[in-house]
Chains A and B, each alone.
Chain A
Amino acid sequence: MDLATSNEARASATSGPESVAISLIINGKLRHMSVEPWVTLLDLLREREDLTGTKKGCDHGQCGACTVLLDGRRINSCLTLAVMHDGASLTTIEGLASDATLHPLQAAFVKHDAFQCGYCTPGQICSAAGLAAENRASSRDEIREHMSGNLCRCGAYPNILAAIEDALPTLRGQEGAQ
């Protein structure tokens, strides 16, 4: 790149904050939108898309309440910018159930009473869905370690663990069938 081009690039870079047009597939639906660069994926979901199932806990990547699946992998939506994910596919807690049938993890959380206040639950469930897809944790200790990015201030951990352990074989069976 010659100096003129470089200066031009720098000039356009400093031309000021502007909204950026992006497209996202959110829970299977294609969405076109225009966002300021500083909007986090979490704020986009909650404030612009009205998908308030994804929770804002600490907003610093420490609690896991904002966990969603980005192209099938679990991430903290509070620590990434929406503009960085043009063209990506997102699954939130609202997108896990199919019609009237609960996702196996949702059903297992109900069955095992894996919550008290429920605020961490969407993040726990999305995180557990990511864990199942990774296929790296089977034993109780492994599940504990691989769920360490999701905190529960009510301390419902024993039941959360039981729910995930219960749902894992079903989830792995489904993946094997696909």
Chain B
Amino acid sequence: MTPFSYQRPERIDQAIALHGPQSRYIAGGTNLLDLMKENVLQPGQLIDINGLPLREIEQTAEGGLRIGALVSNADLAWHPQIEQRYPLLSKAILAGASPQLRNMASTGGNLLQRTRCYYFYDTATPCNKREPGSGCSARDGRNRIHAILGASEHCVAVHPSDMCVALAALDARVHVEGPHGKRRLELVDFHRLPGDQPQQDNVLVEGELITAIELPVEGFASHCAYLKVRDRASYAFALVSVAAALEMDGDIIRRGRIALGGVAHKPWRLEEAEELLSGKRAESECFAAAADRLLQGAQPLADNAFKIDLARRAIVRALTEAAGGTVR
């Protein structure tokens, strides 16, 4: 690792004031330190935010939950309120990483983890995300794990998080604080598509800090499923993952949500696809129609055409599981 200076402020405003162009906030550090060891990132200063008061999980005025950005992935997944009211989130978190990493990784940091595109990690190869303007090695290289939706000629990387896929399906919100004050964003608007600025994973501006994630009241607790398809049974990133959440009235779907992971630069949702579920009987034809709509416009690369079929089947299976009732 390249040497850097280290500060540990105790207040949010101090942390933000310390932040400059060469700074990085560090919470769990599980992705940041890995990238620093690979020289993908070389910050001049780390601002350790573990002393900030961001570890609470509290009820919001509207009856949802506000999760402090420093709550660990493990504590969040196993929090009684999350297990009971938002099992989709709990399942998605537990499908990711390893127990050791989940004990370290923070809620805010999970949103900010970088892509696991091999070329992004390999400083000997061009990568527009790591070095804007240098080119994309994945587009015509090995691209089995890469995007089928929302990619650009500049970048075909996917966002690696499982947690964010569930948060997208749950309509979560992100609270941030920065040099220009506080703001609240919809999670689905937090991450961005690569376009011609793939170096920007999300809409945060310099110095902004995630302070909390907010969950609305509706947790789809009785009918949800998180299905993750990967190259081995555990401890691997998703080739495709699906967060499915349904509100049922007998065997009729009142409304449904579907979010995909492993297929794009951000968790993938489409209202038009979800509308195809509303008022329909929960059966495979209806699920397949929603899957086809959600995957409309998918563009495979040389090695990842399989992801389109895989995603279609995974969506149908996840919706079928959700309709049958959440597996506790």
Contacts and interface: CB of A to CB of B under 8 A. Distances in A.
A90 to B, nearest CB: 13
Contact of B100 (A12, A74, A144): A74
Given A67-B100, A76-B100, A76-B101, A37 B20 contact: no
Contacts of A64: 98, 100
A65 to B, nearest CB: 11
Contacts of B44: 14
Interface string A6-34: 10011011111110100000000000000
Interface string B3-46: 11111100001100110101100101110011001000000111
B252 interface: no
A20 B6 contact: yes
A36 interface: yes
B308 to A, nearest CB: 28
A1 B5 contact: no
Contacts of B33: 40, 79-81
B78 interface: yes
A6 B17 contact: yes
A9 B37 contact: no
Contacts of B99: 74, 127, 130-131, 134, 146, 148-149
A31 B60 CA distance: 42
Contacts of B101: 61, 76, 79, 149
B234 interface: yes
Contacts of B4: 17, 37-38
Interface in B228-262: 233-235
**Most chain B Cβ neighbours within 10 Å, of A1, A36, A79:** A79
A166 interface: no
A61 to B, nearest CB: 6
Interface string A51-67: 00000000111001001
Contacts of B18: 9-10, 13
A148 B100 contact: no
Contacts of B5: 13-18, 37
A41 to B, nearest CB: 10
A93 interface: no
Contact of A61 (B20, B30, B234): B30
Nearest to A74: B100
Interface residues of A, number: 43
Q: Is the interface of A mostly helix, strand, loop or mixed?
A: mixed
B33 to A, nearest CB: 5
Contact of B98 (A14, A70, A134, A149): A149
B175 to A, nearest CB: 20
Interface string B259-271: 0000000000000
A171 to B, nearest CB: 16
A12 B47 CA distance: 12
Contacts of B50: 84
Interface residues of B, number: 40
Contact of A75 (B23, B48, B100): B100
Contacts of A136: 78
B298 interface: no
A168 B251 CA distance: 43
A160 interface: no
B327 interface: no
A14 B45 CA distance: 7
Contacts of B30: 61, 76, 79-80
Nearest to B38: A60
A13 B37 contact: no
Interface string A77-99: 00111011000000000000000
B34 A5 contact: no
Contact of B34 (A37, A79, A84, A146): A79
B160 to A, nearest CB: 13
B104 interface: yes
A146 B18 CA distance: 39
Contacts of B17: 1, 5-6, 9-10
A131 B46 CA distance: 31
Nearest to B179: A6
B1 interface: yes
B104 A36 contact: no
B123 interface: no
A84 B29 contact: yes
A148 B232 CA distance: 10
Interface of A: 1, 5-6, 9-10, 12-18, 20, 36-38, 40, 59-61, 64, 67, 70, 73-76, 79-81, 83-84, 127, 130-131, 134, 136, 144-146, 148-150
Instruction: For the complex of A and B, list the 3 residue pairs with the smallest distance between their C-beta atoms, beginning with the closest.
Output: A149-B98, A37-B6, A148-B234
